[in-house]
Amino acid sequence: MIRHSLLKFLPKNYLSLLIGKLAKLESPRFLIQLAINYFIKCYKINLEEIEKPPSDYTCLNEFFTRNLACGAREISAGLVSPVDGKITQFGQIKNTTLIQAKGIDYTLDELLIDPELAKHFKDGFFITIYLAPYNYHHIHTPIDGEIVESIHVPGKLWNVDAWSIENIKKLFVVNERVISVLKSQETGYIAVVKVGATGVGSISVEFDDVKSNVGAFNYFKKPIIKHYDQQLLFKKGQKLGTFNLGSTVILLMQKQFYPKYNLQSGEVRLGDRLGDYS
Protein backbone atom coordinates (compact mmCIF):
# COMPACT_ATOMS: atom_id res chain seq x y z
CA MET A 1 0.00 0.00 0.00
CA ILE A 2 2.93 2.34 -0.67
CA ARG A 3 0.87 4.17 -3.29
CA HIS A 4 -1.93 4.76 -0.76
CA SER A 5 0.54 6.12 1.80
CA LEU A 6 2.02 8.54 -0.72
CA LEU A 7 -1.38 9.72 -1.93
CA LYS A 8 -2.59 10.17 1.65
CA PHE A 9 -0.13 13.01 2.24
CA LEU A 10 -0.53 14.63 -1.17
CA PRO A 11 -2.45 17.97 -0.90
CA LYS A 12 -5.09 16.68 -3.31
CA ASN A 13 -7.59 19.53 -2.90
CA TYR A 14 -5.00 22.27 -3.42
CA LEU A 15 -3.48 20.33 -6.29
CA SER A 16 -6.90 20.06 -7.92
CA LEU A 17 -7.47 23.80 -7.46
CA LEU A 18 -4.12 24.51 -9.09
CA ILE A 19 -4.86 22.17 -12.01
CA GLY A 20 -8.22 23.87 -12.45
CA LYS A 21 -6.63 27.33 -12.54
CA LEU A 22 -3.89 26.25 -14.97
CA ALA A 23 -6.49 24.67 -17.25
CA LYS A 24 -8.30 28.03 -17.45
CA LEU A 25 -5.26 30.06 -18.53
CA GLU A 26 -5.81 31.70 -21.93
CA SER A 27 -2.21 32.72 -22.65
CA PRO A 28 0.37 32.28 -24.00
CA ARG A 29 -1.90 31.31 -26.87
CA PHE A 30 0.56 29.07 -28.72
CA LEU A 31 1.18 26.97 -25.58
CA ILE A 32 -2.56 26.60 -24.97
CA GLN A 33 -3.02 25.36 -28.53
CA LEU A 34 -0.09 22.98 -28.19
CA ALA A 35 -1.65 21.56 -25.02
CA ILE A 36 -5.04 21.12 -26.71
CA ASN A 37 -3.45 19.45 -29.74
CA TYR A 38 -1.40 17.14 -27.53
CA PHE A 39 -4.52 16.18 -25.59
CA ILE A 40 -6.38 15.41 -28.83
CA LYS A 41 -3.54 13.24 -30.11
CA CYS A 42 -2.89 11.51 -26.79
CA TYR A 43 -6.53 10.56 -26.20
CA LYS A 44 -7.59 10.17 -29.84
CA ILE A 45 -10.49 12.63 -29.53
CA ASN A 46 -13.08 12.26 -32.28
CA LEU A 47 -13.16 15.78 -33.74
CA GLU A 48 -16.27 15.02 -35.78
CA GLU A 49 -18.29 14.91 -32.55
CA ILE A 50 -17.31 18.29 -31.15
CA GLU A 51 -19.11 21.59 -31.64
CA LYS A 52 -16.27 23.67 -33.10
CA PRO A 53 -12.67 23.36 -34.36
CA PRO A 54 -9.90 22.91 -31.74
CA SER A 55 -8.38 26.28 -32.70
CA ASP A 56 -11.54 28.06 -31.48
CA TYR A 57 -11.08 27.02 -27.84
CA THR A 58 -9.50 29.69 -25.64
CA CYS A 59 -8.14 27.42 -22.90
CA LEU A 60 -7.64 23.77 -22.03
CA ASN A 61 -10.60 23.71 -19.64
CA GLU A 62 -12.89 25.03 -22.37
CA PHE A 63 -11.83 22.09 -24.53
CA PHE A 64 -12.27 19.65 -21.63
CA THR A 65 -15.83 20.92 -21.20
CA ARG A 66 -16.52 21.06 -24.93
CA ASN A 67 -20.05 20.70 -26.26
CA LEU A 68 -21.04 17.97 -28.67
CA ALA A 69 -21.96 18.71 -32.25
CA CYS A 70 -25.70 18.77 -32.93
CA GLY A 71 -26.97 15.22 -33.42
CA ALA A 72 -23.83 13.54 -32.04
CA ARG A 73 -25.90 11.61 -29.47
CA GLU A 74 -29.32 9.99 -29.78
CA ILE A 75 -31.50 9.95 -26.67
CA SER A 76 -33.12 6.51 -26.35
CA ALA A 77 -36.38 5.44 -24.71
CA GLY A 78 -36.49 4.61 -21.00
CA LEU A 79 -33.91 5.75 -18.47
CA VAL A 80 -30.70 6.71 -20.25
CA SER A 81 -27.07 7.24 -19.42
CA PRO A 82 -26.48 10.84 -18.31
CA VAL A 83 -22.85 10.79 -19.51
CA ASP A 84 -20.24 9.27 -21.76
CA GLY A 85 -18.13 6.92 -19.67
CA LYS A 86 -17.59 3.36 -18.47
CA ILE A 87 -20.00 1.38 -16.27
CA THR A 88 -17.83 -0.05 -13.50
CA GLN A 89 -20.48 -1.36 -11.09
CA PHE A 90 -24.25 -1.89 -11.13
CA GLY A 91 -26.78 -3.96 -9.24
CA GLN A 92 -29.51 -4.01 -6.68
CA ILE A 93 -29.04 -2.04 -3.48
CA LYS A 94 -29.10 -4.69 -0.75
CA ASN A 95 -31.29 -3.01 1.84
CA THR A 96 -29.14 0.16 1.97
CA THR A 97 -25.75 -1.23 0.86
CA LEU A 98 -24.04 -0.50 -2.47
CA ILE A 99 -20.90 -2.10 -3.92
CA GLN A 100 -17.81 0.03 -4.60
CA ALA A 101 -15.62 -2.92 -5.63
CA LYS A 102 -15.19 -6.56 -4.67
CA GLY A 103 -15.11 -6.71 -0.88
CA ILE A 104 -15.70 -2.96 -0.47
CA ASP A 105 -19.13 -1.43 0.06
CA TYR A 106 -20.83 1.69 1.42
CA THR A 107 -24.34 2.74 2.42
CA LEU A 108 -27.01 5.10 1.12
CA ASP A 109 -26.91 7.14 4.35
CA GLU A 110 -23.15 7.64 3.98
CA LEU A 111 -23.45 8.61 0.32
CA LEU A 112 -26.49 10.90 0.46
CA ILE A 113 -26.16 12.35 3.99
CA ASP A 114 -29.96 12.92 4.04
CA PRO A 115 -31.58 9.90 5.81
CA GLU A 116 -35.08 10.73 4.55
CA LEU A 117 -33.88 10.79 0.96
CA ALA A 118 -31.93 7.55 1.45
CA LYS A 119 -35.16 5.72 2.43
CA HIS A 120 -36.51 6.14 -1.10
CA PHE A 121 -33.68 4.06 -2.57
CA LYS A 122 -33.76 1.14 -0.13
CA ASP A 123 -33.64 -2.10 -2.17
CA GLY A 124 -33.42 -0.01 -5.33
CA PHE A 125 -30.80 -0.10 -8.08
CA PHE A 126 -27.50 1.67 -8.66
CA ILE A 127 -25.21 2.24 -11.66
CA THR A 128 -21.67 3.64 -11.30
CA ILE A 129 -20.17 5.32 -14.39
CA TYR A 130 -16.54 6.47 -14.54
CA LEU A 131 -15.58 9.42 -16.79
CA ALA A 132 -12.04 9.29 -18.13
CA PRO A 133 -10.18 12.53 -18.95
CA TYR A 134 -10.95 12.12 -22.66
CA ASN A 135 -14.72 11.74 -22.18
CA TYR A 136 -17.35 14.41 -22.83
CA HIS A 137 -17.64 16.15 -19.45
CA HIS A 138 -21.20 17.48 -19.26
CA ILE A 139 -23.85 15.57 -17.29
CA HIS A 140 -27.43 15.34 -18.59
CA THR A 141 -30.72 14.25 -17.06
CA PRO A 142 -31.46 10.51 -17.44
CA ILE A 143 -35.25 10.98 -17.44
CA ASP A 144 -37.88 13.75 -17.52
CA GLY A 145 -38.28 15.15 -14.01
CA GLU A 146 -38.31 18.01 -11.56
CA ILE A 147 -35.29 18.90 -9.43
CA VAL A 148 -36.58 18.71 -5.86
CA GLU A 149 -33.36 18.58 -3.86
CA SER A 150 -29.66 19.34 -4.16
CA ILE A 151 -26.94 18.21 -1.76
CA HIS A 152 -23.36 19.43 -1.69
CA VAL A 153 -21.08 17.29 0.47
CA PRO A 154 -17.59 18.83 0.80
CA GLY A 155 -14.83 16.26 1.08
CA LYS A 156 -11.47 14.99 -0.02
CA LEU A 157 -10.43 14.50 -3.63
CA TRP A 158 -8.89 11.05 -3.93
CA ASN A 159 -8.37 9.74 -7.43
CA VAL A 160 -11.20 7.49 -8.70
CA ASP A 161 -9.19 5.27 -11.07
CA ALA A 162 -9.47 1.47 -10.95
CA TRP A 163 -6.66 1.08 -8.39
CA SER A 164 -8.23 3.59 -6.00
CA ILE A 165 -11.71 2.05 -6.30
CA GLU A 166 -10.30 -1.39 -5.45
CA ASN A 167 -8.04 -0.28 -2.58
CA ILE A 168 -9.44 2.80 -0.82
CA LYS A 169 -12.39 1.95 1.42
CA LYS A 170 -15.46 4.22 1.38
CA LEU A 171 -13.93 6.26 -1.45
CA PHE A 172 -17.25 7.54 -2.80
CA VAL A 173 -18.39 8.75 0.63
CA VAL A 174 -15.06 10.38 1.52
CA ASN A 175 -14.73 12.35 -1.72
CA GLU A 176 -16.60 15.58 -2.38
CA ARG A 177 -19.89 15.17 -4.22
CA VAL A 178 -22.78 17.18 -5.61
CA ILE A 179 -26.13 15.35 -5.70
CA SER A 180 -29.11 16.32 -7.86
CA VAL A 181 -32.43 14.67 -7.01
CA LEU A 182 -35.13 14.40 -9.68
CA LYS A 183 -38.73 13.30 -9.18
CA SER A 184 -41.58 12.45 -11.52
CA GLN A 185 -44.90 10.63 -11.19
CA GLU A 186 -43.68 7.88 -13.54
CA THR A 187 -40.25 7.16 -12.07
CA GLY A 188 -40.39 8.41 -8.49
CA TYR A 189 -37.03 9.62 -7.21
CA ILE A 190 -33.74 9.44 -9.09
CA ALA A 191 -30.45 10.71 -7.66
CA VAL A 192 -27.58 11.78 -9.89
CA VAL A 193 -24.51 11.70 -7.62
CA LYS A 194 -21.53 13.56 -9.10
CA VAL A 195 -18.33 12.52 -7.30
CA GLY A 196 -15.26 14.76 -7.32
CA ALA A 197 -11.70 13.48 -7.75
CA THR A 198 -8.06 14.58 -7.90
CA GLY A 199 -7.72 17.06 -10.73
CA VAL A 200 -11.43 17.94 -10.87
CA GLY A 201 -11.26 21.70 -10.54
CA SER A 202 -14.95 21.98 -9.75
CA ILE A 203 -18.41 20.52 -10.26
CA SER A 204 -21.17 22.85 -11.41
CA VAL A 205 -24.92 22.46 -12.00
CA GLU A 206 -27.27 24.37 -14.29
CA PHE A 207 -29.91 25.23 -11.67
CA ASP A 208 -27.85 26.48 -8.71
CA ASP A 209 -24.58 28.26 -7.86
CA VAL A 210 -22.91 25.33 -6.09
CA LYS A 211 -19.21 25.99 -5.50
CA SER A 212 -17.25 22.76 -5.09
CA ASN A 213 -13.58 22.31 -4.22
CA VAL A 214 -12.64 25.41 -2.25
CA GLY A 215 -9.25 24.10 -1.06
CA ALA A 216 -7.58 21.90 1.53
CA PHE A 217 -10.08 22.63 4.32
CA ASN A 218 -12.99 21.69 2.10
CA TYR A 219 -13.24 18.36 3.94
CA PHE A 220 -14.17 20.08 7.20
CA LYS A 221 -17.06 22.15 5.83
CA LYS A 222 -20.62 21.08 6.54
CA PRO A 223 -22.88 19.56 3.86
CA ILE A 224 -25.51 21.85 2.34
CA ILE A 225 -28.95 20.42 1.61
CA LYS A 226 -31.39 22.49 -0.44
CA HIS A 227 -35.07 21.86 -1.23
CA TYR A 228 -36.70 23.83 -4.04
CA ASP A 229 -40.19 25.33 -3.93
CA GLN A 230 -40.15 26.65 -7.49
CA GLN A 231 -40.55 24.19 -10.35
CA LEU A 232 -37.22 23.21 -11.87
CA LEU A 233 -38.32 21.00 -14.75
CA PHE A 234 -35.75 19.18 -16.87
CA LYS A 235 -36.37 17.16 -20.02
CA LYS A 236 -34.53 13.90 -20.58
CA GLY A 237 -31.16 14.63 -22.17
CA GLN A 238 -31.08 18.26 -20.99
CA LYS A 239 -27.75 19.44 -19.58
CA LEU A 240 -27.73 19.14 -15.80
CA GLY A 241 -24.15 19.91 -14.83
CA THR A 242 -20.45 19.78 -15.67
CA PHE A 243 -17.23 18.19 -14.44
CA ASN A 244 -14.25 20.47 -14.96
CA LEU A 245 -12.05 17.45 -15.83
CA GLY A 246 -13.27 13.86 -15.27
CA SER A 247 -14.74 11.83 -12.43
CA THR A 248 -17.65 9.52 -11.57
CA VAL A 249 -21.45 9.57 -11.62
CA ILE A 250 -23.53 7.22 -9.46
CA LEU A 251 -27.16 6.85 -10.49
CA LEU A 252 -29.68 5.76 -7.86
CA MET A 253 -33.13 4.47 -8.80
CA GLN A 254 -36.05 3.19 -6.72
CA LYS A 255 -36.95 -0.50 -6.71
CA GLN A 256 -39.53 -0.21 -9.51
CA PHE A 257 -36.62 0.31 -11.94
CA TYR A 258 -35.73 -2.60 -14.24
CA PRO A 259 -32.28 -2.60 -15.89
CA LYS A 260 -32.22 -3.68 -19.52
CA TYR A 261 -31.66 -7.41 -19.85
CA ASN A 262 -28.14 -7.12 -21.29
CA LEU A 263 -26.82 -4.30 -19.10
CA GLN A 264 -23.13 -4.92 -18.47
CA SER A 265 -19.91 -3.24 -17.44
CA GLY A 266 -18.11 -1.35 -20.17
CA GLU A 267 -18.33 1.75 -22.33
CA VAL A 268 -21.60 3.68 -22.42
CA ARG A 269 -22.57 6.92 -24.16
CA LEU A 270 -24.89 9.74 -23.27
CA GLY A 271 -28.44 8.75 -24.26
CA ASP A 272 -27.89 4.97 -24.24
CA ARG A 273 -30.82 3.13 -22.66
CA LEU A 274 -30.06 1.69 -19.22
CA GLY A 275 -33.48 0.36 -18.29
CA ASP A 276 -37.19 1.02 -17.77
CA TYR A 277 -39.80 1.43 -15.09
CA SER A 278 -42.70 -0.90 -14.33
CA 92 to chain centre: 20
Could you confirm whether 140 is annotated as catalytic? yes
**Residue in 94, 205, 75 with CA at minimum distance from that of residue 150:** 205
- Of the listed 120, 140, 202, 212, which one is catalytic? 140
Could you confirm whether 84 is annotated as catalytic? yes
Nearest 5°: phi and psi at 49?
-90, -15
> Helix-strand-coil percent breakdown of the chain, rounded to 5?
25, 35, 40
- Of the listed 84, 150, 180, 204, which one is catalytic? 84
Q: Is the peptide bond before 154 cis (omega within 30 degrees of 0)?
A: no
Residue 164, amino acid: S
Strand partners, 181: 149, 191
Give the dihedral sign, CA 94/83/113/150.
negative
**Residue in 145, 232, 239, 139 with CA at minimum distance from that of residue 187:** 145
Catalytic residues: 84, 140, 247
